[in-house]
C-alpha cells in the first residue's frame, strides 16, 4: 500500500476510535442471509461447477516449484490439475490426463519429472511444457502430433508469489488476471510479496460449508469474544476498516499498538506495524498480511458441509537456523490458535444449520463484507460476475 494511503488509513482508524466512543461507528443496517445456502446440495453443486472452475483459483505458492520438472497435483476443484515448472522456468497448469485414452498421468501428489512425463498405459510422453514428445509405435496413429495431442493447458499465472489457475479448460482466455486483481494490487503495492518462501503447510478437512470459513474472515466484530484467550487482547475491540472494493474484500484490523503511533509524525507511520491487513481474493483465498510475513488459507468445498482448507505461510527467506525456524513456528502457532477458534465457530454454525436451515442469519453493519461476498457468489452463479 502506498505510503499516503497508509497514512490516510491510520488517520481513519483514529477517527473511527472517536466515532466508536460516541457510538457513531455504524449505520445500523442489518441484513438477512438464508441459512439454506450453507446446506443445499444443489447450490453447492452449482458453486463447484461455476465458482471453483471458471474463476482464477489460488492453487499454491510459486516457490513450491523450485526446479524445472518440479510439479504438484491439485484435484480439489474437481478438475484433475497438474502444475509443473518447465525447462524454460515457466509454471504451467495442465489437465493431468493423457491425450491417448485419458489415463491419469502423474499419481504422486508432488514430485519431480526428470525429462518427460510418461503415460503408464502405452508410454506416450510429454515434456515439462506439455508438448507431446513420443508415441509408442507411431505408425498406428495418423494425424497425432504435438499440435493436435499435447496436454490440455489451463490458463495460469504467477502473481503475488502465488499460482492462479482457471480450472475449466473451456474458460481459457476469459480473464485478464491483472485486471481481475487490480483491487488486490492497490493493497499489496509496496509490500514485499513476490519472492517469498513458503513454509509450514497445513491441510485439513473441516465440517462446515466453505462460505462460512470465508465469512469468518470478513469481520472483526467477533475478535474480543471468540478470540478472548488468544489474539483478541492485542486488537482494538470491534474496530475494522473495510476498504471499498467490488470483488476482493480487504479489511484493516488495527492493533492496540497502533494507537501509540499518534505520538509520532505521520511520515513514520507504518500500517503493517500497527494492524493486520486481511485480503480476501474471490472466491476462497484469504491472505493475512502480518508485519513481516503472510499467511495464506485456501478453502475448497468437498460437499455442502465439508471443506478442505490448505494453507501456507510466506516468509521472506528460507529459515536456516533453529532460531529462525522457532520464530516462524511461533508465529504460525499464534495464527493457528486464532484460526482454529474461527473454524470452530463455523463448525458450530454448520451444526445448527444441518439440523435446521429454514431460517436466516442476521448480519449487522459491522459485517457488511460478508454480505457483499455472499452476493458475489450469487452473481457468479447467475453468470453476472466477470463472464
Bridge partners, 276 (sequence order): 253
260 is in the binding site of which of ligand FES, Fe ion, none (Cβ under 5 to 8 A by kind)? none
124 is in the binding site of which of Fe ion, ligand FES, none (Cβ under 5 to 8 A by kind)? ligand FES
- Rounded Cα–Cα distance for residues 247 and 253 (Å): 19
100 is in the binding site of which of Fe ion, ligand FES, none (Cβ under 5 to 8 A by kind)? ligand FES
Contact predicate 101/120, CB 8 Å? no
Identified binder of ligand FES from the candidate list 121, 191, 327, 336, rule CB under 6 A: 121
47 is in the binding site of which of Fe ion, ligand FES, none (Cβ under 5 to 8 A by kind)? none
Identified binder of Fe ion from the candidate list 47, 155, 215, 342, rule CB under 5 A: 342
Identified binder of ligand FES from the candidate list 46, 112, 122, 272, rule CB under 6 A: 122
Q: Which of 224, 209, 186, 206 is nearest to 366 (CA)?
A: 224
| Per-residue contact string for residues 280-309; x = within reach of ligand FES by CB under 6 A | ------------------------------
56: cell is: 482464477
Q: Which of residues 76-115 bind ligand FES (CB under 6 A)?
A: 98, 100-101, 103
**Dihedrals φ, ψ of 301, to 5°?**
-70, 135
**Dihedrals φ, ψ of 325, to 5°?**
-60, -45
Identified binder of ligand FES from the candidate list 124, 221, 282, 335, rule CB under 6 A: 124
270: cell is: 507504518
Q: CB 149 → ligand FES: shortest distance, Å?
A: 10
289: cell is: 498480511
DSSP H helical segments within 307-367, as ranges? 322-355
- Rounded Cα–Cα distance for residues 131 and 26 (Å): 57
Q: CB 148 → ligand FES: shortest distance, Å?
A: 15
Q: How many residues touch ligand FES (CB under 6 A)?
A: 9
Q: Which of 348, 306, 377, 282 is nearest to 37 (CA)?
A: 377
Contact predicate 342/226, CB 8 Å? yes
The DSSP code sequence of 247-285 is: SS-EEEEEBGGGGGGGGS-GGG--HHHHEEEEEEETTTE
**Which region among 22-30, 146-154, 306-314, 341-349 touches Fe ion (by CB under 5 A)?**
341-349
- Rounded Cα–Cα distance for residues 5 and 195 (Å): 24
247 is in the binding site of which of ligand FES, Fe ion, none (Cβ under 5 to 8 A by kind)? none
197: cell is: 518462501
157 is in the binding site of which of ligand FES, Fe ion, none (Cβ under 5 to 8 A by kind)? none
Nearer of residues 47 and 342 to Fe ion, judged by Cβ = 342
Q: CB 62 → ligand FES: shortest distance, Å?
A: 29
Q: CB 216 → Fe ion: shortest distance, Å?
A: 6
Nearer of residues 134 and 233 to ligand FES, judged by Cβ = 134
- Rounded Cα–Cα distance for residues 303 and 41 (Å): 7
- Rounded Cα–Cα distance for residues 133 and 125 (Å): 5
- Rounded Cα–Cα distance for residues 315 and 335 (Å): 14
- Rounded Cα–Cα distance for residues 53 and 76 (Å): 10
**Which region among 146-154, 240-248, 277-285, 335-343 touches Fe ion (by CB under 5 A)?**
335-343
119 is in the binding site of which of ligand FES, Fe ion, none (Cβ under 5 to 8 A by kind)? ligand FES
DSSP 3-state of 162:
strand
103 is in the binding site of which of ligand FES, Fe ion, none (Cβ under 5 to 8 A by kind)? ligand FES
Q: CB 338 → Fe ion: shortest distance, Å?
A: 6
Q: CB 103 → ligand FES: shortest distance, Å?
A: 4
Q: CB 251 → Fe ion: shortest distance, Å?
A: 11
Q: CB 113 → ligand FES: shortest distance, Å?
A: 15
Q: Which of 289, 287, 297, 249 is nearest to 270 (CA)?
A: 289
- Given the rule CB under 6 A, which residues bind ligand FES? 98, 100-101, 103, 119, 121-124
- Given the rule CB under 5 A, which residues bind Fe ion? 342
Amino acid at each position: 500500500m502506498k505510503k499516503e494511503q497508509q497514512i490516510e488509513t491510520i488517520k481513519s482508524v483514529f477517527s473511527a476510535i472517536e466515532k466508536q466512543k460516541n457510538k457513531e461507528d455504524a449505520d445500523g443496517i442489518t441484513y438477512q442471509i438464508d441459512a439454506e445456502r450453507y446446506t443445499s446440495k444443489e447450490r453447492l453443486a452449482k458453486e463447484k461447477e461455476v465458482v471453483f472452475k471458471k474463476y482464477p483459483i489460488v492453487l499454491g505458492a510459486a516457490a513450491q516449484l523450485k526446479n524445472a520438472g518440479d510439479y504438484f497435483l491439485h484435484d480439489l476443484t474437481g478438475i484433475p490439475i497438474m502444475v509443473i515448472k518447465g525447462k524454460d522456468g515457466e509454471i504451467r497448469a495442465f489437465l493431468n490426463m493423457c491425450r491417448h485414452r485419458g489415463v491419469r498421468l502423474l499419481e504422486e501428489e508432488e514430485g519431480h519429472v526428470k525429462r518427460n512425463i510418461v503415460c503408464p498405459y502405452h508410454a506416450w510422453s510429454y515434456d515439462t511444457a506439455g508438448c507431446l514428445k513420443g508415441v509408442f509405435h507411431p505408425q498406428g496413429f495418423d494425424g497425432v502430433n504435438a499440435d493436435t495431442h499435447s496436454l490440455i493447458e489451463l490458463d495460469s499465472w504467477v502473481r503475488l508469489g502465488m499460482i492462479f489457475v482457471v480450472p475449466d479448460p473451456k474458460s481459457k482466455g476469459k480473464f485478464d488476471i491483472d485486471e481481475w486483481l487490480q483491487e488486490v494490487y492497490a493493497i499489496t503495492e509496496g509490500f514485499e510479496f513476490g519472492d517469498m518462501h513458503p513454509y509450514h503447510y497445513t491441510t485439513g478437512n473441516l465440517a462446515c460449508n466453505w462460505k462460512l470459513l470465508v465469512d469468518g474472515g470478513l469481520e472483526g466484530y467477533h475478535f474480543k469474544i471468540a478470540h478472548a484467550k488468544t489474539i483478541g487482547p492485542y486488537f482494538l475491540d470491534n474496530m475494522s476498516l473495510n476498504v471499498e472494493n467490488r470483488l476482493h474484500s480487504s479489511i484493516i484490523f488495527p492493533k492496540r499498538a497502533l494507537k501509540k503511533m499518534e505520538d509520532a509524525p505521520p511520515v513514520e507511520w507504518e500500517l503493517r506495524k500497527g494492524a493486520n491487513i486481511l485480503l480476501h481474493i474471490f472466491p476462497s483465498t484469504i491472505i493475512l498480511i502480518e508485519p513481516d510475513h503472510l499467511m495464506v488459507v485456501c478453502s475448497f468445498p468437498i460437499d455442502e458441509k465439508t471443506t478442505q482448507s490448505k494453507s501456507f505461510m510466506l516468509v521472506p527467506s528460507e529459515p536456516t537456523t533453529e532460531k529462525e525456524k522457532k520464530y516462524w513456528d511461533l508465529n504460525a502457532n499464534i495464527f493457528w490458535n486464532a484460526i482454529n477458534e474461527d473454524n470452530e465457530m463455523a463448525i458450530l454454525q454448520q451444526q445448527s444449520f444441518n439440523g435446521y436451515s429454514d431460517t436466516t442469519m442476521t448480519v449487522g453493519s459491522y459485517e457488511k463484507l460478508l454480505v457483499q461476498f455472499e452476493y458475489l457468489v450469487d452473481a457468479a452463479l447467475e453468470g453476472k460476475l466477470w463472464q
